[in-house]
Amino acid sequence: MYNIVRHVDYRMAEGPPPPTEHPETIRHEAETVLRNVTAETATHAPAEAEDESKKKQVVIIDRRLLQGECLGRGIVNHNSALRVVTVGSHDELRNMPDKAYAAVLFVLTQRMSDPGVRAALLSLVLELGSIPVIVVANSDEPVEILAALETGVRGYVPTSVTARVVAEAIELARAGGSFVPVSGFLALREIIWRTMGNVPQTTSIFTTREGEIAEALRKGMANKVIGRELNLCESTVKVHVRNIMRKLKATNRTQVACKLREMEI
């Protein structure tokens, strides 16, 4: 008897079991939650698409597409506000549906002295109007830089610089400026001096051949390149370099270049 009463009291204290929800109610609540989630996703999706569309589009024209895409990735790594697209030719650029370019990078595979290259670049600049065009080239020779600038481009970037410099050159061009390498200006200074007959004399320090090699060292050229340019064996170039270093009391090529610049060679 005691066990029965105890069991009844326990059940009464526990209270009646909670009512079981109807399956239809559960389904209705699940549908409501799903609708809310879908609505929230739809609200954020256009915003994300709009943010992507606001990115400034830069087009790289490079027939070597792999190289162009690598350059594009490097630019975006340093400026995530840019969206870079690579095309293989000017014709592909014309066929692009989105014409809102922030800038166009034209990668040269030939020298500006080639009439076809100059004509193609001039045509591109005229067609794009106010959209800045920046040339990317292997050479930083003043003649090449000036020939490119004469077509109306807003920048000349040698391939010896980093992707960060290219990204900054794009922003400079968009702001109305023009980018040219410092090395080109230094070499241009020498051309002006020669034209004016005001070239500093170094004959008292170097021989004629050493003077030629010293000029090449100032430009940062490697021994192999110097040998090819001056038609000398690399071993002969090394001998002249050692003599130049001894005369300048320099311990490495960097010091040689610095001392030569101080002498305004």
**pLDDT range class, residue 111, cuts 50, 70, 90:** confident
The mean per-residue pLDDT over the stretch 117-129 comes to: 91
The mean per-residue pLDDT over the stretch 28-47 comes to: 56
The predicted structure's pLDDT at residue 8: 44
Select from 220, 210, 199, 216 the least CA-distant residue to 263: 199
Type of residue numbered 219 = K
Q: Strand 101-107 to strand 56-61: parallel, antiparallel, or no bridges (unpaired)?
A: parallel
The predicted structure's pLDDT at residue 170: 94
pLDDT digits (tens, 9 = 90+) for 45-71: 454 444 444 468 999 999 999 999 999
Cα–Cα distance for residue pair 155/26, rounded to 1 Å = 66
Query: Taking 90 as the threshold, does the pLDDT of residue 220 lie above it?
Result: no
The predicted structure's pLDDT at residue 203: 46
Q: Whole-prediction pTM value? A: 0.55
pLDDT digits (tens, 9 = 90+) for 221-252: 888 889 888 888 888 899 889 988 888 888 88
